């Protein structure tokens, strides 16, 4: 299998390239810097020896690992995204390699006293004795999802160099802009040509996911009226206070910090306000479709209620659906979950099957006709300075891709 050193070198070469996406851009990819890694990946795939390597005008990369068996087999795919989150600094990433982790606190940044501690991040304890790659405390790492890319390319290299491993035709793809919900917007499912696929975009080792949130965004706009505060009685309308009424009217315990498992939430992630105008940006999430629809109705009802109180439209909302629970499309194709479970057990990984508290390209692709559950990539604490990934988890994910490829051809 691919050596630890090669995994580390490949991963580090990817994460040191800034590929943050931009939700305010209308381009695809949303940032020019994503092209830097995209072109590197295309060159690497060709150098390794993959066939049908293409990149289109939107930055979608596809390639083929040719079949090594004469049997008629399904075409399977593996997918990852190369953009990183715009929610935290992704420029000038300086990975730190922690060999033989001792299970104690890791000083990420001495000067700023930033510490990655197992007393707070308890998952660290299970990686004692392993090699960790962390941030330097000033940026995110980018294991979401450059760990997935590392694993797919490493598995592809192994399969190309070991034609004695029997497998059918395998397609791989790398996408832009997943972090801003657009990763599958221009994905050509027919061109990809797979019967089913797996995104390598999960977290800790063993994760196998085929349920995710139904998701929507809500943009609430409140319009006020600014008047000199000394003469404001019965004249000023403070949009920020109306926005506060709206915020306080939503269920206080139905937020990300108070929910888990399949529990849904309303998440206020951005607010901007003056007396004249305040905007609130929410995401709405729920695994249950009926509860999801009820959440959207609740927001609309609150908007109508506030407008009724003021006797005119002081608040408006635009709600847009983003993606839906892939479970609906995976359940009729549960054999692809069974293959992944069997492959995990074969390489000594305990399957951890649980719902995703988020979404992946796979959720959209499943509704586009490509059943696509999600598999671990190995990283933890995504989108922030405490992000890390065990190298051994990336090695295991690489091994798992090879094993799934074998089992899918039996």
- Contact in structure between 196 and 333 (CB atoms under 8 Å): yes
Active site residue 245: no
Distance CA 330, CA 204 (A): 22
pLDDT at 99: 97
* Helix then strand then coil, % of the chain, to nearest 5: 35, 25, 40
Predicted TM-score (pTM) of this structure:
0.90
Residue 350 has pLDDT above 80, yes or no: yes
Residue 358 has pLDDT above 90, yes or no: no
Distance CA 6, CA 154 (A): 9
Q: What's the angle, vertex CA 129, arms to CA 127 and CA 132, rounded to 5?
A: 60
Q: Is the dihedral of CA 214, 217, 222, 223 positive or negative?
A: negative
pLDDT at 316: 98
Q: Count Cβ neighbours within 10 Å for each residue of 77-99 and write b for 16 or more, e otherwise.
A: bbbbbbbbbbbbbbeebebbebe
Active site residue 178: yes
pLDDT at 154: 98
Q: Is the dihedral of CA 200, 204, 207, 209 positive or negative?
A: negative
Cite the beta strand spans of 243-333 per DSSP E: 265-273, 277-286, 315-323
- Contact in structure between 83 and 21 (CB atoms under 8 Å): yes
Q: Among 178, 201, 211, 361, which one carries the catalytic annotation?
A: 178
Please, what is the end-to-end C-alpha distance for the chain in angstroms?
A: 21
Q: Is the dihedral of CA 267, 270, 273, 276 positive or negative?
A: negative
Q: How many alpha carbons lie under 13 Å from residue 273 in its C-beta half-sphere? A: 21
Q: How confident is the model at residue 359 (pLDDT cuts 50, 70, 90)?
A: confident
Q: Which residue has the higher pLDDT, 360 or 92?
A: 92
pLDDT at 2: 82
Element (H, E) at 5: helix 4-15
- Contact in structure between 240 and 226 (CB atoms under 8 Å): no
Q: Among 83, 144, 145, 211, which one carries the catalytic annotation?
A: 83
* Residues 99-143: tens digit of each pLDDT: 999 999 999 999 999 999 999 999 999 999 999 999 999 999 999
Q: Which two tokens stand for residue 243?
A: 């926005």
């Amino acid at each position: 299998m691919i050596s630890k050193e090669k995994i580390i070198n490949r991963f580090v070469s990817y994460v040191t390239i800034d590929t943050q996406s931009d939700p305010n851009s209308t381009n695809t990819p949303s940032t020019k810097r994503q092209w830097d890694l995209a072109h590197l990946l295309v060159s690497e795939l060709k150098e390794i020896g993959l066939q049908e390597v293409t990149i289109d005008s939107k930055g979608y990369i596809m390639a083929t690992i040719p079949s090594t068996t004469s049997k008629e087999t399904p075409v399977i795919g593996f997918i990852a995204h190369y953009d990183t989150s715009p929610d935290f600094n992704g420029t000038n990433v300086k990975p730190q390699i922690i060999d033989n982790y001792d299970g104690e606190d890791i000083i990420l940044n001495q000067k700023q006293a930033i510490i990655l501690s197992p007393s707070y991040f308890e998952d660290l304890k299970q990686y004692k004795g392993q090699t960790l790659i962390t941030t330097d405390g000033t940026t995110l790492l980018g294991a979401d999802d450059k760990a997935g890319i590392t694993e797919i390319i490493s598995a592809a290299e192994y399969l190309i160099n070991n034609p004695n491993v029997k497998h059918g035709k395998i397609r791989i793809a790398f996408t832009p802009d997943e972090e801003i919900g657009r990763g599958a917007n221009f994905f050509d499912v027919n061109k990809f040509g797979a019967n089913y696929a797996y995104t390598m975009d999960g977290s800790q080792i063993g994760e196998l996911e085929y349920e995710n949130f139904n998701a929507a965004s809500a943009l609430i706009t409140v319009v006020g009226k600014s008047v000199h505060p000394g003469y404001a009685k019965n004249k000023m309308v403070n949009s920020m206070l109306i926005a506060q009424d709206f915020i306080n009217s939503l269920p206080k315990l139905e937020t990300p910090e108070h929910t888990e498992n399949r529990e849904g939430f309303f998440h206020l992630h951005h607010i901007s306000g003056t007396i004249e105008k305040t905007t609130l940006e929410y995401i709405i999430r729920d695994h249950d479709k009926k509860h999801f629809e009820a959440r959207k109705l609740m927001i609309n009802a609150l908007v109508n209620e506030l407008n009724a109180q003021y006797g005119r439209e002081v608040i408006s909302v635009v709600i847009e659906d983003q993606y839906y629970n892939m479970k609906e499309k995976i359940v009729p194709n549960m054999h692809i979950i069974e293959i992944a479970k069997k492959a995990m057990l074969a390489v000594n990984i305990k399957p951890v099957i649980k719902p995703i508290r988020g979404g992946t390209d796979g959720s959209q692709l499943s509704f586009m006709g490509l059943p696509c559950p999600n598999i671990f990539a190995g990283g933890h604490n995504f989108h922030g300075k405490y992000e890390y990934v065990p190298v051994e988890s990336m090695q295991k994910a690489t091994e798992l891709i090879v094993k799934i490829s074998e089992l899918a051809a039996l």
